């Protein structure tokens, strides 16, 4: 199981939000490139980048930073946030991003999303962000009427192999992962899942071990930045 550090980008800085609320922001660094290099040096196998400006507005203010991270680090990058067109996918790839996360486009323009899955195959990962069992879009600022597990079943039919599942109410709270939501997805699909949101302790990570055959990785943000967990200690749990 991969332990994946998160780097959330807003106006060129590394930040964390509480439950995705842009009014509840904590800045953890003005140089995301240095932070990315630190995670790489500590042993990270992949980094999770989120373009929050892109997610909220559809317009990125972080292209330069993302490109610099792509130039400097040698480990794979996955990027989400505001990727709602073929051009955005191609631009991310040109920055050195290995895996592109799509979310809003899956709900708003499913025909395009299914084409992206077909054309870019396993480079496309679907991000399913849940609030009370429904899928949220546009940087979590809007809720859809689509149920989380319904969307998981739909994208699996398109050929998607892997999703990133985030319980928004857990994100940034350090209250542990949403196992109920995870279990529902696992029981109704054969998708591989990366879990995101709420991880705060070794105990939280240990709680995911029984799902090891289906949970490919876990994304950790705030707990790493506040030293609740260290990356080597977190990785050691799954070694």
| Catalytic machinery residues | 8, 129
CB–CB of 150/134 below 8 Å?
Answer: no
What is the SS3 assignment for 49? strand
Measured distance CA(206)–CA(213) in Å, rounded: 14
What is the DSSP pairing of strand 215-220 with strand 77-80? Answer: unpaired
Alpha helix stretches (DSSP H) within 95-221: 104-108, 110-120, 148-158, 179-188, 202-206
For residue 194, report the phi and psi dihedrals to the nearest 5 degrees.
Answer: -105, 125
Contacts of 131 (CB under 8 A, 6+ apart): 140, 143, 167, 168, 169
d(CA 34, CA 177): 28
Q: Which of 216, 179, 223, 220 is nearest to 200 (CA)?
A: 223
């Amino acid at each position: 199981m991969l332990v994946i550090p998160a780097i959330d980008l807003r106006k060129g800085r590394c930040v964390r939000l509480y439950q995705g609320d842009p009014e509840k922001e904590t800045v953890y660094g003005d140089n995301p490139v240095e932070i990315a290099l630190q995670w790489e040096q500590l042993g990270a196998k992949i980094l999770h980048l989120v373009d929050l400006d892109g997610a909220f507005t559809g317009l990125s203010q972080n292209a330069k930073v993302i490109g610099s991270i792509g130039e400097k680090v040698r480990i794979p990058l996955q990027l989400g946030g505001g990727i709602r067109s073929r051009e955005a996918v191609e631009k991310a790839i040109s920055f050195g991003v290995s895996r592109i996360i799509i979310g809003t486009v899956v709900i708003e323009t499913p025909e395009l999303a299914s084409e992206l899955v077909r054309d870019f195959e396993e480079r496309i990962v679907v991000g399913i962000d849940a609030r009370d069992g429904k899928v949220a879009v546009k940087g979590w600022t809007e809720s859809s009427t689509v149920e989380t597990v319904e969307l998981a079943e739909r994208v699996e039919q398109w050929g998607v192999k892997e999703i990133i599942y985030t319980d928004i109410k857990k994100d940034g709270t350090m209250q542990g992962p949403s196992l109920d939501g995870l279990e529902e997805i696992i029981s109704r699909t054969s998708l591989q899942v990366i879990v995101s949101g709420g991880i705060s302790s070794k105990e939280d990570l240990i709680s995911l071990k029984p799902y090891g055959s289906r949970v490919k990785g876990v994304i950790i943000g705030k707990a790493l930045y506040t030293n609740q967990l260290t990356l080597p200690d977190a990785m050691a749990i799954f070694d």
